[in-house]
């Protein structure tokens, strides 16, 4: 007996190809396009073409007004992403994970072409919104697809790689921006850095249909035979093997259990036996923490932070920004090695403490404008902050939301929580240019306060999910006595073995047949 194959591979080799050809490029698109405008705002040819948002050659009230408009232009990407992620609550289950990923890549391709060929602000904004729509869909659907196709033992490492690839996108954009900045004059300083992202969109479009659909979605659509074929390929085991049949039985059992109760969107706002409201709040809160603790502030506006807060010249700011994002990329490997070893709760809490300390230090050091030592320290704290963020909030947040959501509402819950991520992203991007020009270092106190709430919230309310199948996590929430005891219950509940999962499904089938 042999396992099923895709691209003539199965098991670990198939997963590596999935990460390299689809997940990697998808999140490089995410990071690259989100960060690409931040380093271009002071380019000479850029401000000549988009003079409506030129804050370099303006002062006073005019500069303040243009800073507000500049924030809006940057944030149009986020508005598109918000709508795109929300749309997945319908399209993800209706059309399947792969179809939505393909459509998202098409949207990002169209938007990148419009942006790179812009000769006016209106065209640029349209391109930015379309890219945002595609990236919003990718940020919502890709982690779900990956979590649903990964095995329980390595699911954490696989999904955390989304954050690593996202950070790679930030880093590539930062250094490419610096490279083309050295031309000093003409549209070559900003058009090529935008256009390079087209290659990643084409890669996703070209390979997505070479990989299997989510087995959970296939079972949801009553295509269990195909789901068994997919599980066989993903695990590298024969279709008839105990492990494949047990995983399929567990998925079917979970769907049968949830199908007995209502599964409409409004059910997420009710508690009930499945504790849907509690689980939904965990997703919403986690995505809020990711944004409101300052993660994308540092990623998107890094050159502006070095230039405006620290008083450095444009080129030095770009070099330091590229270095900071490169360090963030390297720090992302910490999460890869710790997420499944120490668990989700540990990385969230450690990350929260570190981000809080760095933001508090930035608030102090950036307020001392005339102190050269304080300015140098502020630059160091930006680098140090980029050490803590990837540990818990650059991929693990998307992972956890996909894990705690029930299978019939996974796409809806994940997409709405991701839309919440983009909503707060929009607020921060809109506020940041004005805040930096007005209150300066005091702005960081807000992020420090939010980050301080993370370890306490996680300790009391976020149960551990490491090492469990998605169907086990469903039972964990359902069987726990209350939301106050779910964390303790998760610590004491043993992990289900394949034989137990298959026996449980057969027992349920027998009971139903005798009734």
Are 18 and 211 spatial neighbours (Cβ–Cβ below 8 Å)? yes
Residue 512 confidence (pLDDT) above 60: no
Are 294 and 427 spatial neighbours (Cβ–Cβ below 8 Å)? no
Residue 75 confidence (pLDDT) above 60: yes
The conformational region for residue 201 under phi > 0 = left, psi -120 to 50 = alpha, else beta, is: alpha
Buried b (16+ CB within 10 A) or exposed e, 43-67: bebbbebbeebbbeebeeeebeebb
Three-class secondary structure assignment of 166-209: HHHHHHHHHHHHHHHHCCCCCHHHCHHHHHCCHHHHHHHHHHHH
Sign of CA dihedral 336, 341, 343, 346: negative
Q: Which backbone phi and psi does 29 adopt, to 5 degrees? A: -55, -45
Residue 173's pLDDT band (cuts 50, 70, 90): confident
Q: What is the mean pLDDT of residues 464-470?
A: 85
pLDDT at 135: 94
pLDDT at 78: 86
Radius of gyration of the chain (CA): 23
Residue 203 confidence (pLDDT) above 90: yes
Q: Which backbone phi and psi does 8 adopt, to 5 degrees? A: 60, 20
Residue 446 confidence (pLDDT) above 50: yes
Q: What is the mean pLDDT of residues 115-119?
A: 89
- Check residues 43 and 393 and name the one with the higher pLDDT: 393
Structure tokens at 34: 């989100």
- Check residues 502 and 235 and name the one with the higher pLDDT: 235
Residue 513's pLDDT band (cuts 50, 70, 90): very low
What is the model's pTM?
A: 0.82
What are the CA-CA distances from residue 304 to residues 31, 42, 325, 388 (Å)? 17, 9, 14, 21
Q: What is the pLDDT of residues 177-196, one digit of tens each?
A: 878 877 777 788 888 888 99
Closest by Cα among 425, 489, 480, 189 to 287: 425
Q: What is the mean pLDDT of residues 372-390?
A: 84
238 forms bridges with which residues in the sheet? 3
Residue 213's pLDDT band (cuts 50, 70, 90): very high
pLDDT at 315: 72
Residue 378 confidence (pLDDT) above 70: yes
Structure tokens at 44: 């000479």
Q: What is the mean pLDDT of residues 316-342?
A: 84
pLDDT at 511: 37
- Check residues 93 and 432 and name the one with the higher pLDDT: 93
Q: What is the mean pLDDT of residues 285-291?
A: 90
Residue 397 confidence (pLDDT) above 90: no
Q: Using CA atoms, how far apart are residues 149 and 132, in angstroms rounded to an integer?
A: 26
Weakest-pLDDT range from 78-87, 107-116, 339-348, 366-375: 366-375
354-357's contacts with Cβ under 8 Å and 24+ in sequence apart are 354/384, 354/385, 354/387, 354/388, 354/391, 355/293, 355/294, 355/295, 355/385, 355/388, 355/389, 355/393, 355/447, 355/448, 355/451, 355/454, 356/293, 356/448, 356/451, 356/452, 356/454
Q: What is the mean pLDDT of residues 439-459?
A: 89
Q: Using CA atoms, how far apart are residues 388 and 357, in angstroms rounded to an integer?
A: 10
Residue with tokens 């106190």: 445
Q: Which backbone phi and psi does 6 adopt, to 5 degrees? A: -135, 140
Residue 308 confidence (pLDDT) above 70: no
Residue 432 confidence (pLDDT) above 80: no
Residue 260 confidence (pLDDT) above 60: no
Residue 229 confidence (pLDDT) above 90: yes
Identify the helix (H) or strand (E) that includes residue 211: none
Residue 113's pLDDT band (cuts 50, 70, 90): very high
pLDDT at 295: 81
Q: What is the mean pLDDT of residues 56-67?
A: 74
CA atoms within 13 A on the CB side of 187: 11
Residue 514 confidence (pLDDT) above 80: no
Residue 508's pLDDT band (cuts 50, 70, 90): very low
CB-count burial class (<10 Å; 0-12, 13-18, 19+) for 454: buried
Q: Using CA atoms, how far apart are residues 292 and 300, in angstroms rounded to an integer?
A: 14
Q: Using CA atoms, how far apart are residues 25 and 197, in angstroms rounded to an integer?
A: 9
Q: Looking at mean pLDDT, say which of 52-56, 216-220, 379-383, 510-514 comes out highest.
A: 216-220
Are 260 and 253 spatial neighbours (Cβ–Cβ below 8 Å)? no
Mean pLDDT of the chain: 84
Q: What is the mean pLDDT of residues 470-478?
A: 85
């Amino acid at each position: 007996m042999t396992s099923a194959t895709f691209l003539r591979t199965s098991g670990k080799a198939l997963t590596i190809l999935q990460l390299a050809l689809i997940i990697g490029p998808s999140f490089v698109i995410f990071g690259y396009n989100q960060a690409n405008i931040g380093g271009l705002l002071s380019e000479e040819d850029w401000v000549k073409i988009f003079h409506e948002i030129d804050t370099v050659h303006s002062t006073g009230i005019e500069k303040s007004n243009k800073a507000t408009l500049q924030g809006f232009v940057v944030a149009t990407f986020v508005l598109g992403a918000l709508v795109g992620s929300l749309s997945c609550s319908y399209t993800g289950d209706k059309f399947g994970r792969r179809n939505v990923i393909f459509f998202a890549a098409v949207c990002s391709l169209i938007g990148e072409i419009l942006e790179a060929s812009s000769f006016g602000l209106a065209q640029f904004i349209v391109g930015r919104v379309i890219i945002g729509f595609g990236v919003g869909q990718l940020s919502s659907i890709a982690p779900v697809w990956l979590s649903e196709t990964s095995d329980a033992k390595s699911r954490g490492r696989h999904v955390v790689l989304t954050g690593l690839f996202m950070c790679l996108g930030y880093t590539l954009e930062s250094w490419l921006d610096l490279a083309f900045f050295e031309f000093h004059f003409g549209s070559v300083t900003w058009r090529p850095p935008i256009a390079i992202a087209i290659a990643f969109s084409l890669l996703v479009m070209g390979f997505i249909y070479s990989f299997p659909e989510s087995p959970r979605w296939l079972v949801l659509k009553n295509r269990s035979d195909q789901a068994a074929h997919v599980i066989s390929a993903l695990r590298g085991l024969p279709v008839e093997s105990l492990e494949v049949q047990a995983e399929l039985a567990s998925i079917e059992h979970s769907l049968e259990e949830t199908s007995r109760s209502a599964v409409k969107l409004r059910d997420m706002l009710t508690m009930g036996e499945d504790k849907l409201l509690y689980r939904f709040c965990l997703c919403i809160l986690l995505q809020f923490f990711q944004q409101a603790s300052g993660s994308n502030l540092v990623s998107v506006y890094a050159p502006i932070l070095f230039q405006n807060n620290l008083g450095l010249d444009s080129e030095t700011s770009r070099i330091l920004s590229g270095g900071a994002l490169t360090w963030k990329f390297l720090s992302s490997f910490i999460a890869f090695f710790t997420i499944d070893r120490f668990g989700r709760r540990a990385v969230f809490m450690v990350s929260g403490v570190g981000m809080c300390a760095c933001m508090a230090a930035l608030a102090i050091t950036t307020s001392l404008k005339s102190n050269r030592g304080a300015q140098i320290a502020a630059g160091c704290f930006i680098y140090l902050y980029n050490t803590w963020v990837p540990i818990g909030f650059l991929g693990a947040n998307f992972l956890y939301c996909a894990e705690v959501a029930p299978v019939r509402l996974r796409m809806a819950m994940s997409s709405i929580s991701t839309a919440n991520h983009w909503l707060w992203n929009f607020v921060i991007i809109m506020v940041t240019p004005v805040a930096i020009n007005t209150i300066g270092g005091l702005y960081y106190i807000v992020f420090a306060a939010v980050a301080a709430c993370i370890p306490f919230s996680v300790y009391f309310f976020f149960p551990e999910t490491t090492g469990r199948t998605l169907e086990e996590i469903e039972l964990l929430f359902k069987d726990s006595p209350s939301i106050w005891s779910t964390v303790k219950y998760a610590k004491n509940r043993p992990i289900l073995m394949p034989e137990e999962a298959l026996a449980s499904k057969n027992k349920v089938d027998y009971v139903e047949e005798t009734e």
